[in-house]
């Protein structure tokens, strides 16, 4: 059988890189999307191609740009002529206190977390239908329980959750659409970085009292990609954080 093809957005680092690795190990040909992390993406592709020739490609696109999102969909189809799996993983994450929030922050967080995922899904829908493929969206447990100080991010992820449910209906019966909602997996970086004390406070409100790993998310993506009778579902991979009673 011809190897299936997966496009993973935001795939150069962190959770996206782990998803890419797991899918590749299962025989997928992988399209590694990146924006700024082209060096890391290229390095990963080179390593994978050394082990299995022509099994990885890199595509760069700014998901804030509608023309670049359209170009990403077109170029992804040009790689091997098909898309069997779309993993909408790319995301911006940083605080936006209500009184200081800006139009630019709104556009950035909505575009990267929601709009790009929607239009990539739309533009790749025909190929996904032909392949009887699937879409997996990286949602967030805060799509259901807003994260204080992060209203725009929480709104964007809530939109992605509803997009998952909506597209499961729109694309049935040919394409399955599911989501994975991570809890405390990898601590945020740069503008969103939090103190060790804040990290510990989060873990205290997690039933398993520890962080998960990027592989926990990647393995859940792999599970959903291989399940032919699951659609319209969002699996929380959060150590029980969403069940914690205040």
In b/e form, how buried is each residue of 47-71, taking b as 16+ CB within 10 angstroms? ebeeeeeebbbbbbbbbbeeebbeb
Q: How far is CA 104 from CA 101, 107, 108, 110, in A?
A: 8, 5, 6, 10
Q: Active-site residue among 94, 118, 150, 153?
A: 153
In b/e form, how buried is each residue of 108-143, taking b as 16+ CB within 10 angstroms? bbbbbbbbbbbbbbebbbebbeebebbbbbbbbbbb
Catalytic site residue 153? yes
Contact 212, 237 (CB under 8 A): yes
Positions marked catalytic = 153
């Amino acid at each position: 059988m011809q190897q299936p093809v997966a496009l993973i957005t935001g795939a150069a680092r962190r959770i996206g890189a782990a998803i890419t690795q797991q899918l590749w190990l299962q025989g997928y040909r992988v399209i590694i999307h990146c924006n700024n992390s082209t060096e890391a993406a290229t390095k990963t592709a080179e390593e994978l191609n050394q082990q299995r020739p022509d099994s990885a490609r890199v595509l760069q696109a700014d998901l804030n740009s509608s023309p670049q999102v359209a170009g990403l969909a077109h170029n992804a189809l040009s790689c091997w002529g098909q898309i069997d799996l779309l993993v909408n993983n790319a995301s911006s994450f940083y605080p936006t206190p209500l009184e200081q929030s800006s139009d630019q922050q709104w556009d950035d967080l909505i575009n990267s977390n929601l709009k790009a995922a929607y239009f990539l899904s739309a533009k790749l829908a025909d190929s996904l239908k032909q392949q009887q493929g699937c879409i997996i969206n990286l949602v967030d447990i805060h799509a259901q329980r807003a994260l204080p100080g992060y209203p725009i991010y929480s709104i964007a992820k809530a939109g992605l959750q509803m997009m998952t449910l909506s597209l499961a209906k729109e694309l049935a019966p040919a394409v399955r659409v599911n989501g994975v909602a991570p809890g405390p997996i990898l601590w945020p970086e740069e503008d969103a970085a939090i103190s060790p004390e804040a990290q510990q406070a989060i873990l205290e409100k997690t039933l398993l009292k520890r962080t998960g790993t990027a592989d926990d998310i990647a393995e859940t993506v792999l599970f959903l990609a291989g399940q032919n009778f699951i659609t319209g579902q969002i699996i929380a991979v959060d150590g029980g954080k969403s069940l914690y009673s205040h």
